[in-house]
Chain A
Amino acid sequence: MSSLLDTPTAAPDAPAARPERRWRAALGLLPFALYFLVFLGGPLYFVISGAFTDADGRPTLGNLVASLMSPQYLLAFRQSLLLSAVTAVIGAVFGTFLAQAVLTARPRSPLRRTVSTASGVLAYFGGVPLAFAFIAALGQTGLATAWLRSAGIDLYASGFRIDSLTGLALTYVYFQIPLMVILITPALEGLLPQWREAAENLGASAWSYWRLVALPVLAPAFAGATLVLFGNAFAAYATALALTSGSIPLVPTAIASALSGNVLVGQANVGLALGLDMVVVIAIVMVAYLWLQRRAARWSRR
């Protein structure tokens, strides 16, 4: 009974008491792993295999070539990458400031609770409510549009539309900032107060402390979180779907319309090839993220 629990937490590299026991213990992880494999691995498998076959089931590279060469898809990729990069950077920078502003409040203050729970809801809700909220605020007849107009700023006269790429970016930031708050808060909490005090004690200004001590510690975590934000925006589709009904060319839009046969019969496999392209982009993001996580762990306290 005690042997079940005697592996010390602090010594992951310690040799297991008996290999066959460890194998038995590993069975405990099987349901989780199998579920992932079947219900995530399954769809991904069919995306990949479908990307390499034509409508009649013969192997081909044609779908992949089409997904990477046709101008409409190239435009979709450019727009998706631009939208993701811009909203990731804006969300990351502002999210970090917001997280730090909230962290300086007392741990159980209403401000901390409000922001942390709201971050959860807004980061994971996304989609439909968000799109409607932005239409209500910044649509042609939106409330904020009206306020701005009465203040002498006519958004729509200056070419703004909520269902444009700019409007979409403005909306995406609404879930990017909360996600950044969730992701960066542990790293900010990891900045030990004695670092700041030691720096001050040695004659550093607040600015010198941030530049020379805090930012280098935060850098890997910040970069990693920014990558996740990028992936998040790249993968997002519900908001764009509800906000623009698919009028802006983005990769998910292109996949959806290829699948629904709106364009041409036999396009479904090109849709799968586009899906594979997305998976490759996401995979690169994940690899970079994992590498940065390892670096971030190096500075974490011991």
Chain B
Amino acid sequence: MTRGRRWRVVVLALAALYFLVPLVASAEFSLRAPGGGYGVANYTRIAEDPVLLSALFTSLRIAVLTAVIVLLLVVPTAVWVRLRFPSLAAVLESATILPIVIPPVVMAAGIAFVQANLGGPVFRALFDSSTSALTPFYVILALPFAYRAVDNGLAAIPLRTLVEAARNLGAGMTTALVRVILPAIRSAVLGAAFLTLALVLGEIVIARILLYTDTFPIAVVETGRSAAGVSVALSLASLLLTWVLLLAVSFVGGRRRRSLRSRPSVRRRTP
């Protein structure tokens, strides 16, 4: 037992060291003031820098659009698969691996080919702005992650019973989805949305190859050439912000789940 505890402490300590040192170093670096000493100047710079500020708004717009499209595609599909096509669950589960292993650079290469060689109103509209050009492909990168998050949320609720009860009371499928299921998987949906935000705030490969340089992560990298402190401050801030959002969702979700659990479950055997 004690020997069992010891390896755990060693592993956790090593992990804490490895994962915290770069974060602490980032924090320290970003707090260095130009004239020596420490200050928050690097964090406040964004308010005075119109380029960074507009890049931030562009990326947030892309993130929101991406998250909305992702959820519109994922939630109904995940529910539908669980209700009607349980045999496809394994297929979609495997699809959740795709965005991890599909190289963004390869996607970018294919898109760049279209951008360079194909014309017509559809493509012109697509490549019109960074928002219109990047959002559809960020959706692809985020889709399967979001699918996994939402599907885990659905696994934790008595989906079939909820839908049947709602429909039995006269609700249409759409109403059941929006009024009954969505609230029940709220924390999973928020989690998926915030992971999408993380993805959009970190993506530079596709944006750079397609030459849309007005997104936030690209602006952060560009700023880094002249003012390293600012870009470290901004990237640290975006990472911590996403993490805090996810942590908050996890606590809210945990509380709700506990209150669900305290009710007697229909499924539990009562010997």
Residues of A whose CB lies within 8 Å of any CB of B are 1-2, 4-5, 7, 9, 12-13, 25-26, 28-29, 31-32, 35-36, 39-40, 42-47, 50, 94, 97-98, 101-102, 104, 108, 111, 113-114, 116-118, 120-122, 124-130, 132-138, 142-144, 173-174, 177, 179, 206, 228, 231-232, 234-238, 241-242, 252, 255-256, 259-260, 268, 271-272, 275, 278-279, 282, 285-286, 289-290, 293, 297
Out of A25, A31, A174, name the residue touching B22 (CB < 8 Å): A174
B179 within 8 A of partner (CB): no
Q: How far is the CB of A18 from chain B (nearest CB, A)?
A: 13
Give the shortest distance, in Å, between B156 (CB) and chain A (any CB): 13
Contact between B15 and A282, CB atoms less than 8 A apart: no
Specify which of B25, B30, B105, B246 is in contact with A252 (CB 8 Å cutoff). Answer: B105
Partner of B109, one of A47, A179, A293: A47
A-B contact count (CB 8 A): 278
Q: A282-B101, A285-B101 are in contact. Are A29 and B77 (CB under 8 A)?
A: yes
What DSSP secondary structure best describes chain B's contact surface?
A: helix
Sample of 18 further A-B pairs with CB below 8 A, known A47-B106, A279-B103: A28-B77, A29-B81, A35-B73, A36-B143, A42-B114, A98-B12, A124-B195, A125-B239, A127-B204, A133-B22, A137-B22, A143-B29, A228-B101, A256-B208, A259-B108, A268-B112, A279-B106, A285-B101
Q: Please tell me if B193 contacts chain A, counting CB pairs below 8 Å.
A: no
B residues near A (Cβ < 8 Å) are 4, 7-8, 11-12, 14-15, 18-19, 21-26, 28-30, 73-74, 76-77, 80-88, 90, 93-95, 97-98, 100-114, 116, 136-137, 139-140, 143, 145, 160, 163-164, 167, 173, 191, 195, 198-199, 201-205, 208-209, 217, 220-221, 224, 228, 231-232, 235-236, 238-239, 242-243, 246-247, 250-251, 254, 258
Chain A residues with CB under 8 Å of B139's CB are 35, 39
- The answer to whether A241 and B205 have CB atoms under 8 Å apart is yes
Known: A40-B107, A129-B235, A133-B22. A179 touches B29 (CB 8 A): no
Q: What is the distance, in angstroms, from B152's C-beta to the closest C-beta of chain A?
A: 9
Q: Complex: how many Å from CA A52 to CA B129?
A: 30
Contacts of A47 in B (CB 8 A): 106, 109-110, 113
- Are B103's CB and A121's CB within 8 A? no
- Chain B residues positioned under 8 Å from A7 (CB to CB): 83-84, 86
Q: Determine if A43 and B209 form an interchain contact, defined as CB atoms under 8 angstroms apart.
A: no
Question: Which chain B residue has the least Cβ–Cβ distance from A142?
Answer: B25
Give the one of A47, A136, A259 with max B CB within 10 A. A136
State A135–B8 Cα separation when bound (angstroms).
Answer: 29
Q: A46-B110, A129-B236, A241-B204 are in contact. Are A143 and B209 (CB under 8 A)?
A: no
| Cross-chain contact B236 with A237 (CB below 8 angstroms) | no
Contact (Cβ within 8 A) A45 B28: no
Partner of A133 from the list B93, B108, B236, B246 (CB cut-off 8 Å) is: B236
A28-B80, A39-B137 known; A125 and B242 CB under 8 Å? yes
Report Cα–Cα, A255/B26, bound state, in Å: 30
Write out the residue numbers on chain A whose beta carbons fall within 8 Å of the beta carbon of B217. Answer: 127-128
